Amino acid sequence: MIIWLNGTFGAGKTTTAKELTALLPQSRLFDSEEVGCMLGHVLESVPVKNFQDWPPWRGLVVDTAARLLGYLGGALVVPQTVLSEQYWTEIRVGLENRGIPVRHFILHTDRDTLTERIRTDTKPESAGAERWRLDHLSAYQDALPWLRREGTAIDTTAITPAQAARQIVDSVDSVGRVLTRA
């Protein structure tokens, strides 16, 4: 099973993913952004605004996830923003065609709270990313209609990542696919 955590940059996907993997047995974090980093040195001569624009990224995410699940079993938790409906459909269909169930969750926060979170983020990897994250808020807003059709939205405005993870676990448990750790 794939549990995909989508949402805008700074919504808490990675923190929630870490909480989630602590709650779900045989689950692992799969950072599909690393696939983009891997491709960067090979495809540096093919300019794109976002590594997701490289078709090999989407295919390799599907291939890598399938191989990891075939080797490890369990579930993969993927904290990755995908704001292109075409790209999301390509990934989802690719996984489903391999018999891999996909649960898609959108971590949503109101714009004011999100802006405040981005501006006060002190993690080292966030240094210099504030303007970039703020510039992508409109793209996220534009994608919300299809995101809500394709996934389950969880409003994280007033809850912690641990509480969001618990909601996801409860949702996954409700379909009987994954059992939580005690």
The count of domains in the chain is 1
Q: Please give the residue that has the higher pLDDT: either 87 or 51.
A: 87
- Residue 126: inside a domain: yes
pLDDT band at 69 (very low <50, low <70, confident <90, very high): very high
List beta partners, residue 105. 5, 152
Closest to 23 measured CA to CA, from 173, 155, 124, 160: 173
- Residue 180: inside a domain: no
Answer whether 53's CB lies under 8 Å from 82's CB.
no
Per-residue b or e along 12-42, where b marks 16 or more CB atoms closer than 10 Å to that residue's CB: bbbbbbebbbebbeebeebebbebbeebeee
Answer whether 109's CB lies under 8 Å from 97's CB.
no
Query: CB burial class (10 A; 0-12, 13-18, 19+) of residue 181?
Result: exposed
- Residue 181: inside a domain: no
Domain that holds residue 92: 2-173
Question: What are the tens digits of pLDDT across the range 1-45?
Answer: 999 999 987 788 999 999 999 999 899 999 998 998 888 888 888
How confident is the prediction for the chain on average, in pLDDT? 88
The CATH number given to whatever domain includes residue 147 is: 3.40.50.300
Q: What is the DSSP letter of 24?
A: S
- Element holding 75 (H helix, E strand): strand 75-79
pLDDT of res. 125: 59
- Residue 45: inside a domain: yes
Q: What is the DSSP letter of 18?
A: H
- Residue 178: inside a domain: no
Least confident of 23-27, 31-35, 111-115, 117-121: 117-121
